[in-house]
Structure 1
Amino acid sequence: MLQLISFLIHGIQPFLIPICFIVAWTITILVVLSLWTAARDSVSTAKQMHQIPCTNCQFFTTDYRLKCTVHPSTANTEEAINCIDYQPKTNPYLY
C-alpha cells in the first residue's frame, strides 16, 4: 500500500508546480475582481444616495422619530429622490 502511494506521489510530482501556479493566480485574480466589483457597486450606490434631497428640504427635521413632516415613511430613502413636495430651506442656517 505504501509503495502504491509512493508511486502516485512520484508520478504526480512533475505536474504539481504548474497546477499550484495556475491555482494561485486564479485565486489572486478572483480576489482582485471581487474587490473591484465591490468598489464599483459601492460607488454607484453612493452616487444614488447623494441624490436624495431630504437634508436640504424645508420639511426635514433632525429628529430621528419624525424625519419628514410631509412624508415620514419615505424620508431619506430612494423613494424621496423625486419628491413632489420638496421645498428648499428658506433659512439654510437652521439645523
Structure 2
Amino acid sequence: MLQFIYFVIQAIQPILVPVCFVSAWAIVALIVWSLYSAVRDSVATSQKLHQIPCTNCQFFTGDYRLKCTVQPTIANTEAAITCMDYQAKTNPLLY
C-alpha cells in the first residue's frame, strides 16, 4: 500500500508545482479584482449620494426628527435627487 502511495506521489509531483503556482496567482488575481470592484462600487455610490441637494435646500431643517418640512419621507435619500420642491437657500448664513 505504501509503495502505491509513493508511486502516485512521484507521478503527481511534476504536475503539482505548476498547478499550485497557477492556483496561487489565480487567488491573488481574484482578491485584486474583488478589491477593485468594491472600490469602483463605493465610488459610484458616493458620487450618486453627493447629488442629493437636501442640505442646500430652503426647507431642510437639519433636525433628525424632521429633516424636511415639505418632503420628510424622501429627505436625504436618492429619491430627493429629483425633488420638485427643491429651492436653494437664499442666504446660507442665516440657517
Assess same fold via TM > 0.5. Answer: yes
How many residues align? The count is 95
Aligned to 2:44: 44
**TM-fit CA distance, 1:25:** 0.9
Encode CA deviations 1:39-74: one digit per residue, 9 max, x unaligned. Answer: 111111111111000000011111111111111110
Computed over aligned residues only, the root mean square deviation of the Cα atoms, in angstroms, reads 1.0
TM-score of the two chains, using structure 2 as the length reference: 0.93
Which residue of 2 is the match for residue 16 of structure 1?
Answer: 16
Structure 2 Cα separation of the partners of residues 15 and 60 of structure 1:
67
Once the two structures are TM-superposed, the CA of residue 31 in structure 1 deviates from its matched residue by 0.9
The corresponding residue for 1:34 is 34
Name the SS for the 2:74 alignment partner: coil
Post-superposition CA distance 1:6-35 (Å, at most 9, x none): 111111111111001100111111111111
Structure 1 stretch displaced more, 30-39 or 49-58: 30-39
Return 5+ residue gaps in structure 2 as ranges: none
Length-normalised TM-score, structure 1: 0.93
Q: Secondary structure of 2:86's match? A: coil
Aligned AA (1:41): D
Equivalent in the alignment of 1:25: 25
Q: In structure 2, how many angstroms separate the alpha carbons of the residues matched to 1:64 and 1:41? A: 28
Q: Which amino acid aligns with 2:70?
A: V
Q: Which whole-Å CA distance do the structure 1 matches of 2:94 and 2:62 have between them?
A: 10
Q: Distance in 2 between matches of 1:51 and 1:25?
A: 40
* Cα distance in 1 for residues equivalent to 2:70 and 2:3: 81
Corresponding residue for residue 89 of structure 1? 89
The runs of at least 4 consecutive aligned structure 1 residues that moved more than 6 Å come to none
Amino acid at match of 2:2: L
